[in-house]
Structure 1
Amino acid sequence: MGKVLVVTGGSRGIGRAVCLLAAERGWTLCLSYVANREAADAVVREIEAKGGRALAVRSDVAVEADIAALFEAADRLGPLGGLVNNAGVVDRAARVEDMTAERLTRMMTTNVVGSFLCAAQAVRRMSTKHGGQGGAIVNLSSVAARLGGPNQYVDYAASKGAIDTFTTGLALEVAAEGIRVNAVAPGLIDTDIHASGGQPDRMARLGPSTPIGRAGTAEEVAAPIVWLLSDEASYTTGTIVTVSGGR
């Protein structure tokens, strides 16, 4: 089997789509989930039914010890070759003056600090400086980083702006060590993260307003992520690929 790919938040939405497509392309999957073990196990079963290898690990990227345990589990599957920093949270629509420190801490810890700590674990394993064989990291950004999320998600947008900067800086830091670092910035994508933010109908309302006339699918985001992980993208690093239907 191929090298091991860690996908955080791999039980649903974009993360699930990445796991399924990457498994088809020969990766061995180590995916994390926080609460829905049934959904995570279903992804594993679907991969195994097609002859692939996968492991689901309960791991909250807001908890440093959980991150360490996730990568230790991945080590048991084989050499690490890739990381997709997909896990993230959104909150209910609010203006900045109504956001609490608790909300902001949760947002930044999960969306930013978690991505940093997962990348650190991956670099220690994949960098030629540390005896690794190289690899690829793909971070999940968002077009919200450019649009700002006014009157709804300025905190989420700011966290994704941090991911853009992180992607550029880390890419330059490890380029000579065999690791490529890129990001994918989705637009309006039809996943259940919107329901978790209190707007289950958000895609039905806003999708038709995009230049392409509809919301995107998780599979349409997974495709460029898996390409960036592949050898076909061997000369691509420090890049943010926008998948937004022209928005």
Structure 2
Amino acid sequence: MSRPRTTDQQHVTVVTGGSRGIGAATAVRLARAGHRVGIGYARDEEAAARTVEAVREAGSEAVAVRMDTSVDAEVDALFDTVRDRLGPVTGLVNNAAVSGPLGRFTETSTEVMRRVVDVNVTGALLCARRALREMSTAYGGRGGAIVNISSCAATLGSPGEYVHYAASKAAVDAMTVGLAKEFGPEGVRINSVQPGSVLTDMHAAMGDPDRAWKKAEITPARRPGEPEEIADAVAWLLSDEASYASGAVLRISGGL
């Protein structure tokens, strides 16, 4: 029996947190694979514009929308814009996330905890819900795929750094498994990628610009990952080559 193919369908993929780091690398990698890309970003308009230009240089089309994934109306605005400008949505990369500053759990403010849960968990759920309404055959869609960006923190716990963030990413993995089982019969595959320590500016935002290299000391590969290495895994999970992959949690961590 031949496996299902969707190569006759134009790929239109939404990437949240797509202005920098893993999100930007993923947008460009998907463009090289023929995806049109809708980029959701929180604040940095110039960075989002650079990603849009990089997607176009890679030979595809892109649109960027400023939005907060934890606000359902703004999630709808992102998907509406992408659908109107680029075509029916066939994929989602749930990448937007925040961590707050590094520190002991007992010193982490309630405000930081709530913001992390709002963006990393509620935001991912809201984006997945809207994407599923676009793609599920039960809603008139043609199927598609979602990749949730988790973290090795989901299983390592990140003591002394950001346990609240680790907990939010464990929720993302649980969501991945549940949605894969619920929506697989409706033509949508849902998977998760768990990056290890990756060279992005998120470490500086947490308060330790050198953190990725410090983590390299306990990583079997003895180096941090590059955003492009995570993007390659995401692109594979969205591709026809991964047509039987659903409910998987793929660790890309240099052996960590």
Q: Same fold by TM-score, threshold 0.5 exceeded?
A: yes
Aligned AA for 2:66? R
What is the match of residue 241 of structure 1? 250
What is the match of residue 71 of structure 2? 63
Once the two structures are TM-superposed, the CA of residue 3 in structure 1 deviates from its matched residue by 2.1
**Partners of 1:44 and 1:8 in 2: CA distance:** 13
What is the match of residue 116 of structure 2? 107
Once the two structures are TM-superposed, the CA of residue 200 in structure 1 deviates from its matched residue by 0.6
Contact kept in structure 1, 2:151 and 2:169, CA below 8 Å: yes
Matched, 1:24 2:32: yes
Aligned AA for 2:139? H
Aligned AA for 1:183? S
Q: Deviations over 1:124-177 (max 9, x none)?
A: 010000110000000011110111010111000000010110000010010100
Contact kept in structure 1, 2:155 and 2:170, CA below 8 Å: yes
Contact kept in structure 2, 1:208 and 1:215, CA below 8 Å: no
**Partners of 2:121 and 2:76 in 1: CA distance:** 16
Matched, 1:75 2:99: no
Once the two structures are TM-superposed, the CA of residue 46 in structure 1 deviates from its matched residue by 1.6
**Partners of 1:103 and 1:92 in 2: CA distance:** 8
Aligned AA for 1:226? A
- Among 133, 139, 144, which residue is 1:135 paired with? 144
Residue aligned with 2:251, SS:
strand
Once the two structures are TM-superposed, the CA of residue 204 in structure 1 deviates from its matched residue by 2.1
**Partners of 2:14 and 2:143 in 1: CA distance:** 14
**Partners of 2:109 and 2:69 in 1: CA distance:** 21
Once the two structures are TM-superposed, the CA of residue 102 in structure 1 deviates from its matched residue by 1.0
- Deviating 4+ runs (over 3 angstroms): none
Matched, 1:186 2:204: no
Q: Deviations over 1:46-73 (max 9, x none)?
A: 2212321000110111222111100101
**Partners of 2:107 and 2:50 in 1: CA distance:** 38
What is the match of residue 165 of structure 1? 174
Matched, 1:229 2:218: no
What is the match of residue 126 of structure 1? 135
Identity of aligned residues (%): 48
Contact kept in structure 1, 2:28 and 2:58, CA below 8 Å: no
Q: Deviations over 1:162-194 (max 9, x none)?
A: 011000001001010000000000001111111
**Partners of 1:54 and 1:60 in 2: CA distance:** 19
Residue aligned with 1:52, SS:
coil
What is the match of residue 48 of structure 1? 56
Aligned AA for 2:243? S
Residue aligned with 2:102, SS:
coil
Aligned AA for 1:107? V
**Partners of 2:134 and 2:19 in 1: CA distance:** 24
**Partners of 1:112 and 1:191 in 2: CA distance:** 21
**Partners of 2:71 and 2:88 in 1: CA distance:** 24
Supply the RMSD in Å over aligned alpha carbons: 1.0
Normalization by structure 2: what TM-score?
A: 0.94
Once the two structures are TM-superposed, the CA of residue 32 in structure 1 deviates from its matched residue by 0.8
**Partners of 1:100 and 1:208 in 2: CA distance:** 29
